[in-house]
Amino acid sequence: MFAHSPQSATGTIPLDSESSKGHQISKLGYARTGSSTADFLDRIDVDDDEVMGELEMCPTVSHGDLWGRYKSLVEQLPTRECIVRLTDFYFQKINWQYYVLDESSFRQQLHAWYRLDLQSSAAEKFEALPADVKAFPALLLEVAATSLLLITPDRALELDGLKHIGSTSFETMAVKYSETGMAMLNLLGKTQISLTTVFADFLRVAFLKYFGQVTEAWHALGEGIKDAQEIGLHRASRDPKPRTDDIATVFENQRNIQDRRRLWMLLSGWDIHTAMVLGRPAAIDDKSEPMLPVDVPITANRPVAPVLPRGADDVPTPLTRAIWAYRIMKNLRQIQALEKEGSCPELFSQVDNLDQELRQLDQSIPPYFRRRNPDKSFDSIPECYWLPSARATLPQLLSFNLMALHRPYIFTRFESRSRALEACLDMLQAQREHFDSIDENQYKTLVYLGRF
């Protein structure tokens, strides 16, 4: 017997057409958007053999070969004891920064993974596994890699079960685990993408950023965005439907949709922010406004908790901070559009209006996230342990926006020169306060800063 992974975090998106023909066409790379080649093939009478002839000629990897290569990568995982310690560290010290993963869902997946029995008829059982289950070890490797890279010395002493470490540094092992995770996703290929795949993609991007490989992180982000689009994260019409009318299944499906919203929001925010910092093109169409996740309280029991907004008096969560971060970063798309007009736009009033909107947004940030004179009433609550370290993060994003807004005009307009300089100094002060609020081992998380 082997367990099925929780659908809340990893449900694979079904094809629009469940027909054999539709499934085969999707294997050739065709997507259904309403007006694509695949859609027109569905509407006209095309012989199946004619359409699928090319597919039958494509070389494929046998189930046994794929399982053997997959198994060799899975064997690179740390021991279960180390996985538990690294996972605990990740959710205590790292996950709050972007709130990539839902801890409850991840731990359900982890429990299900260790219940799998693939010893007998391994290749056949492996082939029958859902795509999200196959990708989970890759996500696990990225979590382990991130934790190893940022772990504190006292917690590092607890890791006595790492495989093949010898005299190898934790940093080197972290790189090995992260690259092994990506090798696993590459082995599975692009026909088995699931939400778990995209979670692993995002953690890989963050890992490369922490490691100072900024260009590589930008390229990895582009691939993660394409994987997300492959399973329809950018389209509400591609949201999964509950398999039954059972209330627990309905609630679970609602949470699954929120996972999708949250991940696409993170990818969208990173896409435009990275583009503006590096001076590179954004990968996501600037006209597509993502549907944001609901700011819900974090729960450890998703099947019995409907998706309801957090109340005004409820404790803030890392998701609350992530949503506010996106609200700030999304303005960079307007700033990027203004940049195309050069250093002398037709109307400087557009620049001034956006400047005013950003300053109004700054004033609307909840008091518990403010840098100056914050509301500290939640600080003593155990689940808000992360709040003091988060206070300097949103001001950095706002200051970067203001700097990026006025940067093109510093040589042609005194007001812009003054405001850009003010924003730069304010951002540096916020960064200093942020460094003061975090452990030294987490300085790597700020190795890639918004800058002039």
Is 207's pLDDT higher than 90? Answer: yes
Query: What confidence tens digit (pLDDT) does each residue in 103-119 have?
Result: 999 999 999 999 988 77
CA distance 335 to 337: 5
Residue 58: the pLDDT is 45
Residue 366 and residue 311 in contact, taking contact as beta carbons nearer than 8 Å: no
Secondary element (H or E) of residue 399: helix 393-406
pLDDT tens-digit map of 81-106: 999 999 999 999 999 999 999 999 99
> Predicted confidence band at 452 (pLDDT cuts at 50, 70, 90)?
very low
CA-nearest of 75, 66, 200 to 132 is 200
pLDDT tens profile 224-239: 999 999 999 999 889 9
Alpha carbon distance 205, 75 (integer Å): 23
The reported pLDDT for the residue numbered 448 is 54
Q: What is the arithmetic mean of pLDDT over 64-78?
A: 89
User: What percent of the chain lies above the pLDDT cut of 90?
Assistant: 57
For residue 14, the model assigns a pLDDT of 40
Position 22 pLDDT exceeds 50: yes
Q: What is the pLDDT of residues 396-451, one digit of tens each?
A: 999 999 999 999 999 988 999 999 999 999 999 998 888 888 888 777 777 655 54
Average pLDDT on 39-68 reads 56
- Kindly state the average pLDDT of the residues 300-320: 89
Count of C-beta atoms within a 10 Å radius of residue 261? 19
Q: Which residue has the higher pLDDT, 349 or 357?
A: 357
Whole-structure pTM value = 0.84
Question: DSSP labels for 348-391?
Answer: HHHHHHHHHHHHHHHHHS-GGG-SSS---TTTTSGGGTTHHHHT
- Give the span between the Cα atoms of 88 and 90, in whole angstroms: 5
Please report, rounded to a whole number, the percentage of residues in the chain having pLDDT higher than 70: 82
Q: Of the ranges 131-135, 235-239, 330-334, 367-371, which one carries the lowest mean pLDDT score?
A: 235-239
DSSP string, 254-310: HHHHHHHHHHHHHHHHHHHHHHHHHT---SS-TT-PPPPPP-PPP-S-GGG----PP
Lowest mean pLDDT segment, chosen from 63-72, 307-316, 423-432:
63-72
Give residue limits of the domains in the chain.
1-30+57-294, 319-452
Name the CA dihedral angle for 211, 212, 215, 221, rounded to a multiple of 10 degrees: 40
**pLDDT of res. 312:** 83
Q: Which of the pair, 36 or 127, is modelled with greater confidence?
A: 127
Mean pLDDT of the chain: 84
